[in-house]
Amino acid sequence: MDTILAMPILEMRGITKTFPGVNALDNVNLTVREGEIHAVVGENGAGKSTLMKVLSGVYPHGSYSGEIHYKGEERRFRDISDSEKLGIIIIHQELALVPLLSIAENIFLGNEPARNGVINWAESFARTKALLQKVGLKESPSALITNLGVGKQQLVEIAKALSKEVKLLILDEPTASLNESDSDALLNLLMEFRRQGISSILISHKLNEILKVADSVTILRDGATVDTLDCHKEEVNEDRIIRNMVGRELTDRYPKRDPKIGDPIFEVKNWHVFDAIHADKEKIKGVDFHVRKGEVVGIAGLMGAGRTELAMSIFGRAYGQNISGEVRMHGKPVDVSTIQKAMHNGIAYVTEDRKNYGLVLIDDIKHNVTLANLKGVSSNAVIDDGRELAVASKYRKDLNIRCSSVFQQTVNLSGGNQQKVVLSKWLFTEPEILILDEPTRGIDVGAKYEIYTIINALADSGKGVIVISSEMPELLGISDRIYVMNEGRFVAEMPAKEASQEKIMRAIMKSWED
């Protein structure tokens, strides 16, 4: 931006917000200039989402202390609609779409193009189509949200924001569930908005993206502003941001390990799965793969490649129908036809959708951690509270879960800490094979490192780990071997040492040509 003297569109001064037992924000300042992309970064639980909820009126005036100045005036928002009227639109970290309504209905929910209360469907569909094109989502406006993956739902949210008169767009980890090309498209969109004079606040744990587009960066740590950097005036790089975020030097992104790989312990042969709803649509078209003892296997692919479907169908047919194929553990065929049997045979699956499939949000950390292995904390079906507490406290410590206590409801945890709770739950089942579906989505660099360490420890103890991830650097960094999946097939296999992002993309491209 060359309008260096651009006025601030937003100034948040001395914002303090407490929850029972937690000081989420402590005297935070944030200044966003007109027409800039302002990044907000910080570890999980640093208070980023809370700050944005204060700004957008989710937490109304009076529930926090401090002042919000927007377009030169002090504002006291009572709810979201107050801030929306002034063009502040927030897209929350947890998506807020109505699952059984169509894309078009969701986009214009509460804002329907209507005359005398009669909705003009033709117009709303046409406008939806245009908006979907803008965000690069190839779906019909009448498609139901529930049939879309999280990634596509994110795009719908952005399209929804665009349908309003937006001056300041707040995106809370918008690219967390997007793959590279979709993320790029989104970032380009933001830059396009900047040209149109729309300011944005971007929260992300993907620092490379931030460096690509941000004009300034505000760093939060433990609920306080640590620093604000101007990307045009000073040298800003990932190391500098990380240092500020975690308060210390983080030399390596991926923990070192020398793998001791043994015989195959887990094999899947000729695996076929049909769509859960449309019985004639084949989702997984004959997949063969294996995992060796002590090995971390990555599965790369684009959104919709069928990786989650593959994992869930193996995990006790949690997805799909007419499933055929064979699963072997330690060379012997095993029955994985129900989730209980799959778990009994040592398979664990950590979902990509922690809110809907991973956690009982109204329940506390302790209960969530032990849910998949209640036997481990009970005798004769009677739960031993002390043992349960000890288990939960151990995982809280091991995985560094930030919470006021293990009695805290998981709904009140920050996204990254929720993920750690789900992970704890599955680690506590002591699996032979751990399948991780996007395990670091929405997780800060420090916590990622911790999770990689846990993965390594698991592999080193002779278990097998399967990692599904859309972040290719991560796959390259932690896997021993990588499978590339596309449109329900495994199209390539390579040792991680020989793999590169280009090679993976080439394999996908090639499979399309064939």
Ligand X SMILES: Nc1ncnc2c1ncn2[C@@H]1O[C@H](COP(=O)(O)OP(=O)(O)OP(=O)(O)O)[C@@H](O)[C@H]1O
The residues of the shown chain that bind ligand X, judged by CB under 6 A, are: 19, 22, 24, 42, 44-50, 93, 402-403, 412-416, 444
Q: Which partner, ligand X, other proteins, Mg ion, none, binds residue 340 by CB below 5 to 8 Å per kind?
A: other proteins
- Residue 81 as a binder of other proteins (CB under 8 A): the answer is no
Torsion of CA 20, 23, 25, 27, to 10 degrees: 120
- Residue 372 as a binder of other proteins (CB under 8 A): the answer is yes
Q: Which is nearer to ligand X, 84 or 444 (CB)?
A: 444
**Sole binder of other proteins in the list 6, 58, 109, 371 (CB under 8 A):** 371
Query: Smallest distance from the beta carbon of 91 to Mg ion, in angstroms?
Result: 12
Q: Which partner, other proteins, ligand X, Mg ion, none, binds residue 378 by CB below 5 to 8 Å per kind?
A: other proteins
The distance in angstroms from the start CA to the end CA of the chain is 44
- Residue 281 as a binder of other proteins (CB under 8 A): the answer is no
- How far CA 406 is from CA of 351, 397, 401, in Å, comes to 21, 10, 9
Question: What's the angle, vertex CA 83, arms to CA 15 and CA 36, rounded to 5?
Answer: 75
Q: Which is nearer to ligand X, 223 or 294 (CB)?
A: 223
391 φ/ψ angles, rounded to the nearest 5 degrees: -60, -50
- Residue 351 as a binder of Mg ion (CB under 5 A): the answer is no
Cite the DSSP H helix spans in 428-466.
Answer: 445-460
Q: Which partner, Mg ion, other proteins, ligand X, none, binds residue 271 by CB below 5 to 8 Å per kind?
A: none
Residue ranges of E strands in 148-278: 168-172, 199-203, 216-221, 224-230, 264-274
- Residue 361 as a binder of other proteins (CB under 8 A): the answer is yes
To which H or E segment does residue 119 belong? strand 118-119
Q: Which is nearer to ligand X, 266 or 395 (CB)?
A: 395
Q: Which partner, Mg ion, ligand X, other proteins, none, binds residue 412 by CB below 5 to 8 Å per kind?
A: ligand X
Q: Which is nearer to ligand X, 19 or 407 (CB)?
A: 19
Query: Smallest distance from the beta carbon of 57 to other proteins, in angstroms?
Result: 16
346 φ/ψ angles, rounded to the nearest 5 degrees: 90, 20
DSSP letter assigned to residue 94: S
Query: Smallest distance from the beta carbon of 157 to ligand X, in angstroms?
Result: 16
Q: Do residues 176 and 97 touch, judged by C-beta distance below 8 A? A: no
Q: Which is nearer to Mg ion, 163 or 412 (CB)?
A: 412
Q: Return the number of other C-beta atoms located less than 10 Å from residue 280's C-beta.
A: 7
To which H or E segment does residue 495 belong? strand 489-495
**Rounded Cα gap, residues 433 and 349, in angstroms:** 9
What residues line the site for Mg ion (CB under 5 A)? Answer: 49, 93, 415
What residues line the site for other proteins (CB under 8 A)? Answer: 20-21, 315, 318, 339-340, 343, 349, 351, 356-363, 367, 371-372, 374-375, 378, 381-383, 385-386, 389-390, 407, 425, 429
